[in-house]
Structure 1
């Protein structure tokens, strides 16, 4: 069989980011870093340092999803379009330890995390507690673990687990999540934990465009008012400074294109990340915990309006761009009409000058007939005198007088014939040009 060269790659793509299997109890930390391609390459060298620091082989790290297993400590690195996530899983959890006293970063050498290349967008700890054989943490204990911040909680997976979070930064600079395993398997717990971490990362990546939308809003208001003023000038004033208006439109169009270049990708990414968050929320299948907002309710009330603000700014920017194009078309039409009117006036002036030139030409032709006839009659007079002196019986004066009208008629006929000949040539040239 003729196998497609991408067949194996297409199969592998579906398994490039497998769900993790996480036992309970465990401590997980995830860090998402926005980075360039150069920083992503630098991260590979940074990962290789772990081989010397921890004594475990690193292996091939240049993959979209790289997993590093060192016994009770696991590391997972995933490359995305504009960011990279590091997930640190610590399975060595002392008994009776506080939920966030030990984290996924505890087994790492000091300073290794601090030198990760890239800008940290998301960083949070996940405390996975086992309540299958023992009671789950009481609400006062949970509040104390979250430093008495307002909690968001739910019972996902039809009540097989309990999730607590605050969606805020705590005193250590990290966010916090608590997952209480009631009756889930390790694979189910791994899938739930990964969905929760993706919700946290994707919601922060979606919100990256909100400051851009806020900074863009006053500029859009200013440009909108200026465009409305230009449109009003075009519609109400017969005589406007077209050069100044065109200059304003060009400046406005360049500003809009500059904003579009800066915001198009960011706003498009916000919509994509928001769609991923909504998908992960649906997969949670949450039940409400009495007295607390669920994660879905919190996202609906807080994240969705922010995303709508970004979408509105993007739509307004696109609408303003289209309006500038329409006003520019109106301005070009106005200029073209002005040029057409000037051309009409110029043609009318040329037509008047042509008629004047034609009249002058006819006058010159009349004078030319007289002048040519005068010279011809003078020549004939010399001829008649010579004939009279030669003894021919002619009256030289009478002969000269009779030759005057004859010469005038002959010269006039010859002039008219030449004139008509040139008119025919001009008509032929014009007909040939029209056919072409």
Structure 2
């Protein structure tokens, strides 16, 4: 008897984990077919508006309205198939027109069957928008090429023969007069499932290519500021290395300003640069899956991407690394500046302690001088009191030589007062040492 899972502790995300691998299945595409792919940058607020917009399409075409949004939605409306996929920062719409007649390629597209005005109300910022035409291929390669050239407005073609010659793919990676890009797939021996996988890879290559390039304008925008900050930091570092007499307060203000600008650039660009690296890796993986063979006289898609896309991505990576390097250099310069300020403060403290020690010695010498005067003063008053006492005794009838007694009392009083003051002085010194 097999174990019953209801008695086991099941992870709450188990079903989602299973479904995730099947959430974006490849399409099954016939030959011929016309496809339009659009990728739209979407904010959280626009995401709900887009779903409501998709619900409105169902109402206009008389189909049941979906109640719950999913990561990958697909619905066929007669000869129109609509597929919507949600990604981290964009939504992709794939419109497939299955009703292909004898019209010339790109005269009708994937969005032609859409209701009038529906597409214009789509919210978001369009990044990628291109048409993909699927046609049966001919045995003669030259005949294929002559057929293709008539439908790309004279632009330079990029093409290859993927999947060991089972199809031929052509494109320009440029915008055409209608504002869309164009691709054409000439099917020679692919099944509908294989064709769906091929077109999906092509659409992902074009979409991820454009998404990866979103960081390039950011890199170009901040590069002049990085050059300026680099020069200022070099001047500050050289001043510290040469041990020049500089205004530490002004230099710290400059370092703080540079650090603040770098952090602002990092906050503005870190996500974009990270996304560029991720999209570029996706492009490379999809190119590898194409398994292209070269068509004589034309760049393959992989060669084109390697020569054009990779340098742009490397530029973004270089700017990102430069930002991080500048941040580390500013930290090191700030540490050096703080060390210099701390050394200056310690030198000032040492000078202050030396000055205080000198003043203490002077005060001690003055104290000894005052002690000498205080011994004389105390002795003077004590002798005066003693004189009064001797006078009172003499008047009371006690006979003695007042002058002799007073003369002996004066040095005796001085000696006693001197040792008494010294004893008090030493006692306070001992108390101070104990504390």
TM bucket (normalised to shorter chain) is over 0.9
Equivalent in the alignment of 2:4: none
- Which position in structure 2 is the counterpart of 1:414? 420
Measure, in 1, the Cα distance between the counterparts of 2:61 and 2:140: 34
> Please, which of 71, 79, 84 is the counterpart of residue 64 of structure 1?
71
1:270 is the counterpart of 2:276: yes
Matched with 2:151 is 145
C-alpha distance in 2, partners of 1:163/1:58?
A: 37
Quote the residue 2:235 is aligned against.
229
- Asked if structure 1 preserves the Cα contact closer than 8 Å seen for 2:59 and 2:65, the reply is no
Q: Distance in 1 between matches of 2:244 and 2:232?
A: 19
Q: What is residue 400 of structure 2 aligned with on the other side? A: 394
Q: State whether structure 2 residue 125 is matched by structure 1 residue 125.
A: no
Match of 2:5 in 1: none
Q: Give the C-alpha shift of residue 133 in structure 1.
A: 9.8
* Mean Cα deviation higher: 362-371 or 164-173: 362-371
**Structure 1 residue 61 displacement after superposition:** 4.8
TM-score by length of 2: 0.96
- Find the aligned partners of 1:59 and 1:182 in 2 and give their Cα distance: 38
Shift of 1:138: 2.6
Aligned to 1:377: 383
Pick closer, same or farther for the CA change 1:61–1:200 going to 2, 3 Å: farther
Superposed, which structure 2 residues align to 1:35-114 within 5 Å?
35-94=42-101, 96-114=102-120
Alpha-carbon distance change, 133 to 226 in structure 1, aligned in 2, over 3 angstroms: closer
Query: Which residue of 311, 333, 346 corresponds with 1:340?
Result: 346
| Residues 160, 299 of structure 2: 8 Å contact kept | yes
Equivalents in 1 of 2:233, 2:313: separation in Å? 27
Q: Is the 8 A contact 1:58 1:68 kept in 2?
A: no
- Alignment partner, residue 169 of structure 2: 163
Alignment of 1:15-30 (within 5 A): 15-30=22-37
* 1:188-218 deviations in Å (ceiling 9; x for gaps): 1111100000000000000001111111111
CA distance in 2, matches of 1:43, 1:103: 22
Post-superposition CA distance 1:160-179 (Å, at most 9, x none): 11100000000100000111
Q: How large is the RMSD of aligned CA atoms in angstroms?
A: 1.5
Matches within 5 A, 1:153-232: 153-232=159-238
Gaps of 5+ in 2: 1-7
SS in 1 for 2:88: coil
- Shift in CA distance, 134/231, structure 1 to aligned 2, threshold 3 Å: closer
Match of residue 353 from structure 1: 359
After TM superposition, the structure 1 = structure 2 runs for residues 283-362 of structure 1, keeping only pairs within 5 Å, are 283-362=289-368
The CA deviation string for residues 297-331 of structure 1, in whole angstroms up to 9 with x for no partner, is 00000000000011111111111111111111111
Which stretch has the larger CA shift, 233-242 or 395-404? 233-242
- Separation in structure 2 between the aligned mates of residue 132 and residue 153 of structure 1, nearest angstrom: 15
Tell whether the 8 Å contact from 1:246 to 1:331 is kept in structure 2 after alignment.
yes
Equivalent position of 2:3 in the other structure: none
1:390 CA displacement: 2.0
Total equivalences in the alignment: 428
Instruction: Tell me how far apart the structure 2 counterparts of residues 51 and 196 of structure 1 sit (CA, whole Å).
Output: 28
SS at match of 2:64: coil
Using structure 1 for the length normalisation, give the TM-score.
0.96
Q: Deviations over 1:109-146 (max 9, x none)?
A: 12211221101000000001123899996312201111
User: 3-state DSSP class of the match of 1:63?
Assistant: coil
In the superposition, relative to structure 1, how do residues 66 and 60 fare at CA in structure 2: closer, same or farther (>3 Å)? farther
